[in-house]
Amino acid sequence: MSVLIVGTECQGPVRVCRTARVLRRLMPREGITYDVDADWRTRVLARLDELEMTKADLAREVGCSRSLVTELLKGTRKQTTFLPEIHDALSWPPPQPPLPSKDAGELQYIWDRLDEAGKEAMIARGRVELDRLLRRAKLDESKKSR
């Protein structure tokens, strides 16, 4: 199956094959975001050599773009949601999820102990607080533009 994509910047229609793979690459990806450091990049490059695998092979195996793999391994991209898939492709154990901040941990602790009414109240209070902050930011922005 293929999809016909017509863009304003194209000279004509562009046919895209392997629709599911292409759309998956274009869609924003949800999930845990992992930090990537220089040590990890060095270990991945060594493992690719060991497996005689190219960056393109890794991208195909993971289901992401070659440019994402290149950016990760060059260090121009410092975070990714694809870390578990990369570890799997390299036959490594899954990565440990990043630890939440102290505040996020405290919020989760409170949330887990609330009943439904308490959760609804917490969400409502959070929305009120967020609205207040957004109004203040908008007010500050309008003062700057004067």
- Whether residue 21 sits in one domain with residue 50: no
Q: Which helix (H) or strand (E) holds 27?
A: none
- Residue 74 CA, chain-centre distance (Å), reads 18
Measured between alpha carbons, how far is 13 from 6 in angstroms, rounded to an integer?
Answer: 5
- Whether residue 35 sits in one domain with residue 24: no
Q: What is the mean pLDDT of each run of 10 residues along the chain (146 residues)?
A: 44 49 60 90 97 96 94 94 95 86 85 94 93 88 77
- Whether residue 107 sits in one domain with residue 49: no
Whole domain around residue 18: which residue ranges?
1-28
Q: What is the pLDDT of residue 1?
A: 42
Q: Which residues touch 38 (CB under 8 Å, ≥6 apart)? A: 75
- Whether residue 93 sits in one domain with residue 40: yes
Question: What is the tally of structural domains in the chain?
Answer: 3
- Whether residue 48 sits in one domain with residue 22: no
- Whether residue 88 sits in one domain with residue 52: yes
> pTM higher than 0.75 for the full model?
no
Q: 66-74 and 38-51 helices cross at what angle (nearest 10)?
A: 120
Q: What is the pLDDT of residue 102?
A: 81
3-class DSSP assignment, residue 16: strand
- CB of 48 within 8 A of CB of 58? yes
- Whether residue 107 sits in one domain with residue 84: no
Give the Cβ contact number of residue 54 at 10 Å.
12
